[in-house]
Structure 1
């Protein structure tokens, strides 16, 4: 889809869409903070088997999300609109199109915000098969979107933004209808419990800072690149985000299935089981990510040529560096859930959020001394490493997790696999392959062997049991 969209829009228009749509994400940190709170409290209530409290939590969070949607709409139509028209570097003849793209991006974001409690409810009930079925529908709709875009003879940038909005509206409506029909807890009633709302907002307030930091590291970098290099580099960054999203989605689906269990075990007081889940999912998150990332890192140019044919400048190095940062972050995905399960997130968010948000000023200062777009990703990698160290400290502090077991089960294996992967990359640069396909096949096979090397006998038995249950289930 991305290849055809890039070809149809052109590099400049693709960069405009990536940038203008990204500005909405800057306001979206308000929503992401409440999203984490919603998932935590719904899963917590289910762990306590309190159906009445579950329905109350759903209604309260939906009310709060409606308020957030109104707040974001206000900021989007004031500060955001001013930024698009007076600050963003755009070709003058595309200003009108950029404004239309912006408005449809706002509508798309508002739909996503109101939908969060419904998504969180499905996650809390661990109905992951629902995501599989609806995702197939979403893929079919997006393929249809591409065909319409190819046939359309007018302004393709405007058409693309409208079509993306329509696909989002249809998919989100399906989720909502499913929840209303399947779960009594999704029956909305206006709840004004001042104490409970204050508790949710207080929890979300510190998540707000973490959400702001995450957005700064993502879309905030996009704005910095635009200020220094213009929309062509934004196109390369937009494609990099596509790769990040595709790779992250695979591992996130695994983590989404584990998160409710981590929270429920904490709510039941089963900390030993919680610790095992965190350590196991940390290892599996890294290995799953490595399974996808390593072949891409070793064959980036070839894969991009297959995907895009002609990719914008800087895309290769952007993709490679961003995937390294993702690998580092993947280790600590379960830690975030474990810490949030406790509800004691104030100091954690203040420290880790501060580290992540530093990517913006560090990138700006670094770019003044060395005018290379890839600099922004080096700052992200450095801060990802320090964020990992801080998360390890906080998970030990909040739930008394055995760090010795974590280092043995996860860190030592990560270091060994990464070292062997580096040696393998050097070997690839020496030997001769008759074709790029042979090189890619070799990369996939060696990566698979390295992943097996990272699994213990218990892990292999666990995977075998899971596959057997899936086959007969």
Structure 2
């Protein structure tokens, strides 16, 4: 058991180091791309690429089904079934790919040229970006069965290799961007497409060499196809509404404002996605244990795990969030040079939305663990569907772009309350206590933790010295307030044992 714990700890450290390297490369590439393309072209690339990605809803619905049925077939060790599962998924994804390309080259092309707010002089370049993005999307759809095979065979090291390849390749293409003549936006889109295509080719070569079932075949199992489509049913609601809202908001911002707003949104999404990576690991690691406690009927352990992991997650998020709130303007100027308007505001509001999201994450996992996916989908789908029209109404009334992000808090908070209600109804979970003592209490503590570093910030002028001092005070203030006031006795003990205990052992 001790050896397993050490191995898990080491693997976790390696994953965080890998994530840090990829994050650093991503930040570097964003700075270079923004400088080389300019704010408007960067915004065009984000809105066009996001619009094309909107049409991959069908593929996203089938991804989890493909991975599940491949894993089941391999687990049963029936060669014929493994082969038919793979070939059936190939046929399904070919059909999806053809449908997506048809929709993009008809409806999508019309929308790009007549509805999106793109400067007339850059419309030709936007059409080139669109075509390269269509190719990338089709290739990515065709990669899904092969990546599912890699997952099912548990060759997870390939994901690490490919993520490093993707990050390094994007840095290399930035140097090529400097030397290749022509329109930089078109060149950048073409190079990004090449990275996607070469990555897919690698997956296919690897799978064909390692896995016997990964030979191209059009043989299908009709019953299996029906099962895969049926499995995708309830789970599809969340995927569809999530993609529609994410990309739909980008399109609405473009239609009501300009491509510069899309650049700001792209940068904000990059920052918040990176922050999320540092706290998501706690939730992912706890999910299997949550299912186990429910299966064993250990209600006390089930509830305790939800409370403890939620508290630790918000504790980690607060440590990162407070410095971001106070010093994001300096960091963005230092990082990007030219900062698109509204970028700092977008980042701050999305960080606040993250507190709602991660307060609800373990509640959502709890509902999944007790098998209430249908109830979640039935309630979540209407909220997700209403999100985009609500954003449209706000923009139509003439509200500023930041209002879009404030409005996004409403569906997130509604989902949180509904998830709590479902878990209370079907698992007798103390939802009111959780809402007050986890969400409300931690939001109040977050505000309190900002007071001391904000006072220090007001006494100093902009610059490196203030950045380091305010950031240091922010971290110390967040740790002090969250540890003393946010964490309960059990969680504080867990932090001391798991963190400080391992740290002390490492020096013995």
TM-score by length of 1: 0.84
CA distance in structure 2 between the partners assigned to 1:240 and 1:90 by the alignment: 21
Given candidates 204, 227, 237, the residue that maps to 1:209 is 237
Displacement after TM superposition at 1:23 (Å): 0.6
1:441 paired to 2:472: yes
**Which of 55, 64, 78 is the aligned partner of 2:92?**
64
1:101–1:161 contact (8 Å) kept in structure 2: yes
Distance 2:302 2:90 in 1: 29
How many pairs were matched up?
Answer: 464
Asked if residue 314 in structure 1 is aligned to residue 342 in structure 2, the reply is yes
Q: Which position in structure 2 is the counterpart of 1:412? A: 437
In structure 1, distance between residues paired with 2:143 and 2:345? 35
Distance between the aligned counterparts of 1:2 and 1:403, measured in 2? Answer: 44
Range with bigger deviation, 227-236 or 123-132? 123-132
Give the Cα–Cα distance (whole angstroms) in 1 for the partners of residues 279 and 156 of structure 2. Answer: 13
- Structure having greater relative contact order (Cα 8 Å, sep ≥ 6): 1
Structure 1 residue 243: Cα displacement? 1.7
Question: Relative to 1, partners in 2 of residues 1:86 and 1:136: Cα closer, same or farther, differing over 3 Å?
Answer: same
Bigger radius of gyration among the two: 2
What corresponds to 1:428 in structure 2? 453
Q: Classify 1:256/1:89 alpha carbon distance in 2 versus 1 (closer, same or farther; 3 Å).
A: same
Distance apart, 1:247 and its partner CA: 2.6
Q: Secondary structure at the match of 2:450?
A: helix
Instruction: Spell out the pairing of 1:19-418 with structure 2 (5 A cutoff).
Output: 19-41=47-69, 49-52=75-78, 57-123=85-151, 128-180=156-208, 190=218, 192-252=220-280, 261=288, 272=298, 282-333=310-361, 345-395=373-423, 400-401=426-427, 403-404=429-430, 412-418=437-443
Q: Aligned partners of 1:263 and 1:62: how far apart in 2?
A: 34
Cα displacement (A) at 1:130:
4.0
Q: Give how far 1:136 is off.
A: 2.2
Specify whether residues 118 and 452 from structure 1 end up closer, same or farther in structure 2 by C-alpha distance, changes over 3 A only. farther
Residue 413 (structure 1) shift:
3.9
Comparing 167-176 with 27-36, greater Cα deviation is found at 167-176
Deviation (angstroms), 1:116: 2.8
**Residues 39 and 328 of structure 1: CA distance in aligned 2, closer, same or farther (over 3 Å):** farther
Tell me the CA shift for residue 414 of structure 1: 4.3
Alignment check: 8 A CA contact 1:355 1:383 kept: yes
> How many Å separate the matches in 2 of 1:10 and 1:172?
29
Q: Give distance in 2, aligned partners of 1:10 and 1:299.
A: 24
After superposing the two structures, state which structure 1 stretch, 248-257 or 109-118, moved more.
Answer: 248-257
Answer yes or no: is the 8 Å Cα contact 1:42–1:124 preserved in 2.
yes
**Could you tell me how far 1:320 is from its partner in structure 2?**
0.9
Distance 2:145 2:282 in 1: 20
**Structure 2 unaligned spans of 5+:** 1-28
Rate the CA distance shift 1:25–1:163 in 2: closer, same or farther, 3 A: same
- Which SS does the other structure have where 1:392 is aligned? helix
1: CA distance, partners of 2:391 / 2:116: 18
How much does 1:32 deviate?
1.8
Asked whether the 8 Å contact 2:87–2:220 carries over to 1, the reply is: no
CA gap of 1:319–1:171, structure 2 versus 1, over 3 A, is same
Shift, 1:72, TM fit: 1.0
**CA apart distance, 1:411:** 6.6
Task: Using structure 2 for the length normalisation, give the TM-score.
Answer: 0.79
- 1:58 and 1:219 map into 2 onto residues whose CA distance is 30
Q: For structure 1, which runs of at least 5 residues remain unmatched after alignment?
A: none
Task: Go from structure 1 to structure 2 and tell me whether the alpha carbon gap of 1:150 and 1:174 turns closer, same or farther (over 3 Å shift).
Answer: same
User: In the TM superposition, what is the alpha-carbon distance from 1:340 to its structure 2 partner?
Assistant: 5.6
